[in-house]
Structure 1
Amino acid sequence: MNRMHDIPAERQIEILTARLERSERALRDAETALEKRMTELFRANQDLSLRETELARRLEVESALLLGALSTIQMATLYGERERGFSFSASAASLFGLPPGEEMTIDKVAAVLHPLDHRRIMRETSAFFGELEPGTTREYEHRIVRPVDGETRWLSWSIARKKGDDARPGHLLATVRDITEERANERSVRALQLRAERRVRELAKLQAELAAAKGTVEETLGARNRFISEMAHAIRTPLLALSGGLELLETEVREEGVKDLAVARDAAEQLGEVASRLIEEAAAEGNDLSAPFGGGALPPVPQSPSGIPAQPHVLVAEDTESNRYVIERLLHDLGCTVVLVENGAAAVEAVRREHFDLVVMDVMMPIMNGEQATQTIRGLTGPAARTPIIGVTAHSLQSERERLLSSGMTACLAKPVRKEALETAIRTALISGRDVRKNQARFDHDLFRRTFGDLPAAYRGRMRDAAKKDITKYAGEVLAAVDSGDEEAFSRAAHSLTGVSLNIGATGIVEELALYREGRPGDEASIEPFREAVAACLLEIDDLYDALVPYDQ
């Protein structure tokens, strides 16, 4: 038994259950065999005069087998006939704990009954003999105190009354077996079950407490992140006006003041970077920051690619007056005509009423925010639904950008917006004339990582900016050559673009350019996949750089 306590509770249950099942099977087998044999013996007695010699031999053999089986399974039998008394099997004396050699009688059964069970068993026995009809069976259990060793054991009885020839009770057959081990096993199994149930309840309670604590922590973290996000928006909104104003002043002041303005603008940019990193660190537990939001900023484009309007007509939706002024001035400097509105609802009405080549949409606005306005515009009918929309947001989380792109925006810029970033975002959005998603871009990530990772940290950012600038330049030359039909210019530009693209692993551009050169059907639609590959590549480079290239220390 000590070894059983060393076994895990679940294994103990399995072992004890298996033992119980084996005991029950043995009991059923023994009871079946016993009843069959007793019936044969009874019939053999009736026909004893005809087959006395043969039956005596068989009775001796089969009785020996039966007694051996009864002894093995700790079982005894009782047989009684009317007016002839009771007789027990040889194993009964040992089962009831009588001294060796002492004969078992019905009176000795009553004598060894446990005091706590004596009255009940005598009452049930009396009822059995006095009330039950012949052909019925009674089963009951009780304890005994064995005279030979004083040990308390549990016994189980199965008693059947059979009819005689005259329809009166003829004889009685009974089996009695020791079930002490079975009951102990059952108690052990039940104790283990209760212990397991208690542990399950304790675990459920702990899980509920953990869930409640987790909810409290998540609520606290959510409140913290919302506060930081709102504060970043409050910082970045005036930063847009400050940085944009400084950038505009650079074109107006004399040469000696340019350096002072550059210092001021660098300070504003550093403040914006601090706000960005603060948000990213605050959201690190619940947001994917493996590709931090780079703002979609792209380098300036030296010439317009084919298909871009000479003077793009742009709608600006921005609720802050100073920011509207700065964005309007930047767009005018880029050669755009501008219409200004103060909220998303007004932007939707303007798009319904008038054609725009592009919409610059602030995300946080009253009445209807930029995300809602974008979804509404995408739900319109006709060409207006396909108008490129560049989002401007004070938030810098990657999850924010992914949500805005999913709402239908073509690209996203983070405040404060730089002139060159705005210019290239506009040109990139207009290259394909439709929504461009960054997941359309195809890159060889290993080559991209090696190209930048092998450079000194101080040169990686410069290499990235140069690559974006060259791709935009040579892609524009390719498109212009397609429009003009200049084969020589096309070959030069395609050769240069292929070299730059392969340097950084931009395989999508190279593949689409090769497909166009192989087909060259001559219609405008055939160049569209190339336009989209260039636009997708330019939108992807910054995020891929942040995700794959080691941080510049």
Structure 2
Amino acid sequence: MADHALIEMFSGMRVLVAEDQKTIRHLTSLSLEQLNAATVEAEDGVEAVELAGREAFDLILMDLRMPRMDGAEAASRIRRSGGPSAQAKIIGVTAHQTESAALMLSNQALDACLPKPLNLHDLAALLEDQPRPHQHDEAQETFDTATVDALRALDGGASLARSLTGLARELTKAWEVVGRLIDGNEVQTVGSMSHRLSGLCLVLGARSLAGRLRTLEELAEAGETAALRAAFSAMTPEMERTREAAERMARDFDLTA
């Protein structure tokens, strides 16, 4: 990609650079600013979470190994916060190649990982190849595209199809009993069920529903029965959208595997 194309890609973009090494942080920021991007720096994961909670960033470059809080945890907290940068593209940056693939499967807050030293041409190509979901595609709104693509690439989609079918089945079963459990004041069971489903949703890329399930878990742990019942009722439409999208994608991937 030529330099003028890089300028077109990054011009006007707000970028949070989270990196504990001062020299690397400054050089990365300077390189982006020369492409007309606006940068803000964070020296560790804690500061990155704080800044992302106050300001809206288009892109967050997250060093994966930082003091106080590592990049993977910081990315997860930013996603769960629902703050102004919760939907930003978050790219993990690491000097450890084996770390990248593992984190992409285990930490669904990261959109992708790139090796150090960061190459802006590689970053631009990645951003160009992995656009944000289009609003008219309900499945893409419900499931993170990058996560689904990464899992599908493992074996052509066969395992993903089975996992999505399992998720749809688990959601159906859960919604048949959660209401009764809340009415029976069995909030601990609701919390355990929400925790398990949240983890499954995160692994498969259903981030929004995972966040709502995490809220349900926290309310159950606090014993807030009235708030728990209201939250469960409010999230039912999203659960149904996620279940339907999972079933539809499972059928599509099973046919192409």
Comparing both chains, which one has the higher relative contact order based on Cα–Cα distances under 8 Å and sequence gaps of 6 or more? 2
